Amino acid sequence: MQREDIRNGLIVSCQPVPAGPMDKAEFVTGFAKAALDAGARALRIESVAYVGAVRSAVAAPIIGIVKRDLSDSPVRITPYVSDAEALADAGADVVAFDATDRMRPAGVEDLVRAVKAKGKLAMADCSSLKDAERALAAGADFVGTTLSGYVGGPEPVDPDIDLIAAMRKLTPYVIAEGRIRSPEQAAAAVRAGAYAVVVGSAITRTEHVTSWFHEALAKAYGKAEERAAETVLAIDIGGTKTMAALVKGGAIIDEILVPTARAAGPDSWLAAIADKTGHWRDRYVRVGFAVTGLVQDGRWSALNPATLGIPDDYPLAERATRLFGKPAIAMNDAQAAAWGESKFGAGSGGNLVFLTISTGIGGGIVIDGRPLSGLAGHFGLIRGPSQGRSPLEDETSGRWIAAEALKAGHEANAAEVFEKARQGEPWARAIVSQSTLRAATLCRDIQLMLDPDQIVIGGGIELAAGYIDEMRDHLKDIAPRLAPHLLAAKLGSRAGIIGVADLAGEGG
C-alpha cells in the first residue's frame, strides 16, 4: 500500500463495543464490507483476530490496532512492539499506535522501526501538536488526531478541528479521527486540511448511535413536557370580535371576548387586548396571535380588506412582544386552527386540510405533522368559481349569505337565514344551497390538489347545523376515491386559540 491509496478518502472504523452483541468476527467483517460497498476507501480494525478475519474478506487498506488495558501504563493503543508485528502479519497495511508523551512499554521510535521492518506504514495516534512533531521525527508516515481530548480532563463533544489544521502545517499526511459524528463535521475536517477522515461510532457502533438518539429524544420530550406545562396567552383577532384566552396543554383555563373595533386599527386593537388582559400578566410566559389575513415572519397584511382592514406588513409579533413584555408569535387564524384541530380536535394523525366558513372563508394545511404558513390554505381568495369576478368567500361565506338575503328583501344574518331555510322558506333554501354547493366544490378541488386524509369543516356559530350535511349531499355522486372525507371540527371557535398557543409553546 502507498499513502496515496487513502488520499481524500473515508476510513470507517469497524470496532464493536467490547463484549457487546456485535463483538464477533462475522459482524466486524459485515460492517467492513458494507462500508466499502458504500464508498469507504479504507478500514480501521481492532485486534489481530479481527484484522485477519477482515483481510480474508476484503482487499481494501486496513489500519490495524490492538487495545490493551495495562496496570502500569495509560497507553492502550498498540502498546507493545509484538502487537505491532502481529498486526502486520495478520494483514494490516498501516499499524496505528499511541504516540502520546506518557509512560509506555515501548517507545514511539521502536514501534515505527518494527512496523517499517514488516514493510508496513506507521500511523501515530496523537493528542497534541507536540505528539505529532515527535512522531514525525521518529519516521511516522501518518499522524492522527485520535487521542485529542482523551489524555486527561473532561472528554470534549466535538472533533478537534484546530489540531487538524495545526498538524497540517507540519505534514500533508494528517488523518482526522475522534468524535466525528456527522457529515458536516467530516467536511469541516477536510476543510481544515485532513488527508483522510476516520469515522467510527457514528457508523458502526449501534449502541453509541442509539444512545445519542435516545438522549436527544429524552431531552426533546422533556422540553415538550415543560412547554405543555407553560401557560400561553392566545389571542384570536377576528373581523367582529377578539378572543383572548389562557391556554395550558391544549386546554383553555380562562377566556374573555373583546369587540373588534374595525375602524380603529391594529395598534388600538392590541392596546385594548393588553388592557383587558392586564390582570393575567403574571399567569403566562408566551403570547400567540391567530389573525385573519397573511402572516409572514410575524408581519401582518390584509388579503381581503373586506374581512378586516390591516396596514400592509404590520409588525404584529414585534409590537406585541414589546407591549405584552413576553415573546410573541403570530399566525393566520385558519392555519392555527388547522393545527389545533390536527393535534387536539378532529384530526386523526394524517395530513389534514381545515376549512372555516364564517364571516369569510379561511383554511389551513397540515402536512407531515407541521402546519404550512404563508399563503397556504387561503382558499377563500381563489377566484376560479367566480370566473375571476371576486374571491370565493365573497360569494359563499356568512357575509355573502346575509347580503343575498337583503337582495331578496329580507334583513337577516347568516344564522337567521339558516333558520328560515330549515323552516322551508324557498328564498333561504336557495341561498344556503348555493353556499354549500360552492363550499363542496371547493373541497372536491382541494382533494384533487392535495389528497388530504381528511378535510375538517369549521366556522362561526352563524353557520348552523346542517351545513356540512348539505355539503356531503352535493358530493354524494362522486366516486369514493375522488370524494373528500369531510369531518366536523371539534374545537369550534377555539381551534385557532388552541392551535396558536401550542405553536407559541414550541417557539413558533
Of 138, 145, 148, 73, give the one whose Cα is nearest residue 103.
73
Domain with 271 in it: 230-345+490-508
User: Is residue 309 domain-shared with residue 375, that is, in the same domain?
Assistant: no
Give the contacts of 85 (CB within 8 A, at least 6 positions apart).
114, 118
Q: Is residue 124 part of a domain?
A: yes
Strand partners for 248:
231, 251
User: Looking at residues 281-295, what average pLDDT do you find?
Assistant: 92
Strand partners for 488:
457
Which residues in 249-381 belong to E strands, given as ranges?
251-259, 286-291, 294-296, 299-301, 328-332, 352-357, 361-367, 370-371
Read off the DSSP letter of residue 285.
S
User: Is residue 186 domain-shared with residue 63, that is, in the same domain?
Assistant: yes
Judged against a pLDDT cut of 70, whether residue 211 lies above it is answered with yes
User: Is residue 162 domain-shared with residue 267, that is, in the same domain?
Assistant: no
* pTM for the predicted model, two decimal places: 0.57
User: Looking at residues 127-149, what average pLDDT do you find?
Assistant: 98
Domain count of the fold of the chain: 3
In this structure, are residues 285 and 231 in contact, taking their beta carbons and an 8 Å threshold?
A: yes
Rounded distance between C-alpha atoms, residue 61 and residue 269, angstroms: 71
Rounded distance between C-alpha atoms, residue 276 and residue 237, angstroms: 14
pLDDT at res. 321: 95
Share of the chain above pLDDT 70, in %: 96
User: Looking at residues 98-115, what average pLDDT do you find?
Assistant: 97
User: Looking at residues 311-318, what average pLDDT do you find?
Assistant: 93
Q: 14-18, 195-199, 373-377: which has the highest mean pLDDT?
A: 195-199
Rounded distance between C-alpha atoms, residue 298 and residue 316, angstroms: 6
pLDDT at res. 293: 85
Q: Is residue 283 part of a domain?
A: yes
Judged against a pLDDT cut of 90, whether residue 61 lies above it is answered with yes
pLDDT at res. 463: 52
pLDDT at res. 80: 98
Of 86-90, 226-230, 399-403, 412-416, give the lowest mean pLDDT range.
226-230
User: Is residue 293 domain-shared with residue 384, that is, in the same domain?
Assistant: no
User: Is residue 267 domain-shared with residue 175, that is, in the same domain?
Assistant: no
Looking at every residue in the chain, the average pLDDT score rounds to 91
Rounded distance between C-alpha atoms, residue 95 and residue 98, angstroms: 10
pLDDT in tens, 466-488: 888 889 999 999 998 999 999 99
Q: Is residue 224 part of a domain?
A: no
Judged against a pLDDT cut of 80, whether residue 223 lies above it is answered with no
pLDDT at res. 244: 95
Place of cell 499511541: 98
**N- to C-terminal Cα separation, the chain:** 55
Rounded distance between C-alpha atoms, residue 261 and residue 266, angstroms: 9
User: Is residue 156 domain-shared with residue 22, that is, in the same domain?
Assistant: yes
Rounded distance between C-alpha atoms, residue 278 and residue 296, angstroms: 27
In this structure, are residues 161 and 197 in contact, taking their beta carbons and an 8 Å threshold?
A: no
Q: Is residue 186 part of a domain?
A: yes
User: Is residue 293 domain-shared with residue 320, that is, in the same domain?
Assistant: yes
Judged against a pLDDT cut of 70, whether residue 324 lies above it is answered with yes
CB atoms within 10 A of CB 41: 18
User: Is residue 352 domain-shared with residue 269, that is, in the same domain?
Assistant: no
Q: Is residue 223 part of a domain?
A: no
pLDDT at res. 461: 46
Rg of the chain's alpha carbons, rounded to an integer?
Answer: 34
pLDDT at res. 155: 86
Q: Is residue 222 part of a domain?
A: no
Of 30-39, 167-176, 378-387, give the lowest mean pLDDT range.
378-387
- CATH number, domain with residue 81: 3.20.20.70
User: Looking at residues 400-404, what average pLDDT do you find?
Assistant: 89
Share of the chain above pLDDT 90, in %: 71
Give the contacts of 210 (CB within 8 A, at least 6 positions apart).
none
Angle at 49 between CA 43 and CA 50, to 5 degrees: 30
CA atoms within 13 A on the CB side of 129: 11
pLDDT at res. 225: 65
User: Is residue 499 domain-shared with residue 481, that is, in the same domain?
Assistant: no
pLDDT in tens, 444-463: 999 999 999 999 998 864 45
- CATH number, domain with residue 236: 3.30.420.40
In this structure, are residues 494 and 257 in contact, taking their beta carbons and an 8 Å threshold?
A: no
CA distance to 230, 254, 285, 297, 330, per residue, from 325 (Å): 16, 20, 9, 19, 15
Joined grid coordinates for residue 397: 361565506
Output 312 or 170, whichever has higher pLDDT: 170
Q: Is residue 216 part of a domain?
A: no
In this structure, are residues 153 and 124 in contact, taking their beta carbons and an 8 Å threshold?
A: no
Calculate the CA 449 to chain-centre distance.
25
